[in-house]
Amino acid sequence: MSFANLKKQSSLGSLTSKLVKEVEKMNNTSGGGDDRLWKPEMDKTGNGFAVIRFLPAPEGEELPWAKIYSHAFQGPGGWYIENSLTTVGQKDPVSEYNRELWNTGLDSDKDTVRKQKRKLSYYANIYVVQDKANPQNEGKVFLYKFGKKIFDKIMEAMQPEFEDETPINPFDFWQGANFKLKLKKVQGYWNYDSSEFDRISPLLDDDDALEALWKKQYSLTALTASDQFKTYEQLETRLKMVLGQKSSSRPSYDEETNDEDNDRGSYAPDFSSRSQKSELPEELSAQLNNLGSSNSDEDEDDALSYFQRLAEE
């Protein structure tokens, strides 16, 4: 932009409106600024309800979901919030560092590992059947990010526990089932336990319309493409800075830290030790102060998305 254009936009007031729009995008926790993503919302009573349909794998892809590991924790040098290279089967500096700490056998080091462990997220294409909080979303295709609890419900539908239950493929256009997403607050956090699949039914009765939906789906393999991850060296440099280390030797790589994929409830970054505290909305502050005891993917994602923006500044 030239200086003349800068002055012209100033006189028109367009710069102010642009900045306001950027702030609105930053504050949009329902999609993190990405209009491909859908997220349910709570109503004023503290409950939420929506009906979605998980969609088949996109054209040319094999799986109807993508799985991504990430790390999010605070050290003396700031926040480390990055995708983990273990997602794509590569060595990751945080996993290696966690392995080294775990092998010391010290309880304090094991506690640090639990705070720095991997977070597991899933992505899938969905069709929004009903969304009273945002009716403009109904009849559209979105990406939906969810955690292990909802993924377990998907697996339970495909592999039911009891003989009198019929297995279903939730991702099937014709033999799948709508998913009734029921949200409630339990001890201050979002809870999905009451969510369930409806009876088996086709999503739509028109195959041409289903094919049109299928072609609107977003690529899932693109979410784990190489350009979505920093190199080992870049992550190692960031890790050293966050840990306040000028240099460190690489520990030998063996296997992932014990139970790093599971036991997500023990993930508890120390939010109270920030050297510079920002003024946060009251609800977000409560989420951060109690994150270690939260079982909610949504609460955790909202909190971490705020600090991811700080880490990138």
Q: Which two tokens stand for residue 54?
A: 């998980």
Residue 86 lies in a domain: yes
Query: Above 50 in pLDDT, residue 249?
Result: no
Q: Which of 33-42, 47-56, 94-103, 110-119 has the lowest mean pLDDT?
A: 33-42
Q: Please, which pLDDT band fits residue 248 given cuts at 50, 70 and 90?
A: very low
Residue 12 lies in a domain: no
CA distances from 178 to 129, 135, 169, 291 (A): 8, 17, 11, 31
pLDDT attached to residue 164: 87
Name the most confidently modeled range: 20-29, 150-159, 160-169.
150-159
Tell me how many domains the chain contains.
1
Residue 102 lies in a domain: yes
Residue 82 lies in a domain: yes
Residue 24 lies in a domain: no
Residue 247 lies in a domain: yes
Residue 19 lies in a domain: no
Residue 155 lies in a domain: yes
Q: What range defines the domain where residue 64 resides?
A: 33-312
Mean of pLDDT values over 221-236? 96
The CATH code of the domain that includes 232 is: 3.90.198.10
3-state SS record for 115-183:
HCCCEEEEEEEEEEEECCCCHHHCCCEEEEEECHHHHHHHHHHHCCCCCCCCCCCCCCCCCCEEEEEEE
pLDDT attached to residue 45: 81
